[in-house]
Structure 1
Amino acid sequence: MTVALLMIDVQRSFTARDYWDEGHVASWARAQRALLDLARARGVPVVRIYHLAPGSGGPFDPAMGLIRPLEGFEDAADVVFEKCVHNAFTDTGLETWLRARQITRLWVSGIRTEQCCETTTRVASDLGFDVDFVSEATLTFPMQRLGRTWSADEIRARTELVLEGRFARIVDVASLASE
């Protein structure tokens, strides 16, 4: 089984969002770095995926200059794809690239846990890929709804709950390193 690391939306655009909180970033950044280093050590291809919102005038608009690697993650990727939707497959060429290399297993990581990382995981599973959702290497932030604040840990736990055994295997970097 050939594997690839997906680094989803690890881009500077997020630093311009009002919910960006360095307090949530530190532990994720350590895990994301460890996963990236593990991939490099094992010869696992690194796939960088950027989210774009052309013409929006916001931080995901290429004209704003923030569609570039997040500081600390400027490492060269084996391939880069750009997406304008929540999953990394629609209209990107990612599936074709993976299949041409006979890649059947994906390590999913990046920003945001419950949005682009989860959605990409669901689509990848539906397309027949084996997915390892490296939860500690996904980042999210607290969200509010109906007067309640959902913590980043609650959002991550919910994502793990709905993905585990249905769409992905929930793993951490240490478990991948020990395989």
Structure 2
Amino acid sequence: MPELITRPRRALIVVDVQNDYDGGNLPIEYPPFSETVKHVGQAMDIATAHGIPVVVIRMNLPETAKVFAKGTHGAELHPEVASRPHDHLIGKTQPSAFTGTDLELWLRQRQIDTVTVVGYMTHNCDLSTVIHAMHMGFAVELLDDATGAVPYSNAAGSATAEEIHRVSLVIMQARFAAVLSTADWGAHVAGGTLPHRDTLYESNLRARRVA
């Protein structure tokens, strides 16, 4: 179980860092893509320097899709990721990087117990991958400055990209993942340590005390 891990065996999961997010058909608004994608690159560099395997995930959708359509520039990996080495490349069609892919098997074969998630979007493919990994028994980390969100408006209401990003991070930290910056993650990698992940109870207790 993740709680018993004393010295983590990590893999970095780089989720859907594709051109459609960079001013394309689904532009990341908060934090700005130009800032967060640099942190994705930094995380990949840290992982490579410390012998942590890097798995790059790419959303593959049909030619008729509105985003990430096969054969389009928007579906291609962003240069920040494409220019760096990786250990495994996975195509997916669902939000979670585990659904319909060999990701779990690949990680188990390498005795990975901790996955670090970066990429896009905070509230969709990252959230899905984080929750999926936690249910599989992995310890999970999410780098909050290496991901981002878009605004939504639908039958349930509206929310800004900043609201969606912030609330998604709070939810993940409360139960599903340790949420931290790329710089702080680098320090944990260097020290061979795991960052703190909260509990539902403690997160709620703090909120009630503040209220």
Alignment RMSD (CA, Å):
2.2
Q: 2:59 aligned to 47, 51, 54, which one?
A: 51
Cross-structure match for 1:12: 19
1:121 matched to 2:152? The reply is no
Identity %: 27
Q: 1:22 to 1:169 in 2, by over 3 A?
A: closer
> Residues 94-109 of structure 1: matches in 2 within 5 Å?
94-109=103-118
After superposition, give the CA deviation of every residue in 1:128-171 in whole Å (9 maximum; x if it has no partner).
11000111111212333469753322111111121113111111
Larger Rg: 2
Alignment correspondent of 2:119: 110
5+ residue gaps, structure 2: 1-7, 189-211
Partner Cα separation in structure 2 for residue 95 and residue 18 of structure 1: 28
- In the superposition, the TM-score normalised over structure 2's length comes to 0.77
| Aligned residue-pair number | 179
Structure 1: 5+ residue stretches without partners: none
Q: 1:18 to 1:54 in 2, by over 3 A?
A: closer
Mapped partners of 1:23, 1:115: distance in 2? 15
Shift in CA distance, 11/17, structure 1 to aligned 2, threshold 3 Å: same
Which structure carries more helix by proportion? 2
Deviates more, 1:106-115 or 1:6-15: 6-15
- Give 1 or 2: higher strand fraction: 1
After superposition, the Cα gap between the structure-2 partners of 1:18 and 1:45, relative to the gap in structure 1 and judged at 3 Å, is closer
Task: Write the distance in 1 (CA, Å) between the matches of 2:56 and 2:183.
Answer: 22
- Alignment match, 2:80: 72
* Greater than 4 Å deviation, 4+ residue runs: 20-23, 145-149
Structure 1 window deviating more from structure 2 (23-32 vs 122-131): it is: 23-32
Which residue of 162, 172, 192 maps to 1:153?
Answer: 162
C-alpha spacing 1:54/1:18, structure 2 compared with 1 (3 Å)? closer
Match of 1:31 in 2: 39
Taking structure 1 as reference, are residues 26 and 61 closer, same or farther at Cα in structure 2, changes over 3 Å only?
closer
1:104 CA drift (Å): 0.8
User: What is the TM-score normalised by the length of structure 1?
Assistant: 0.89
SS at match of 2:146: strand
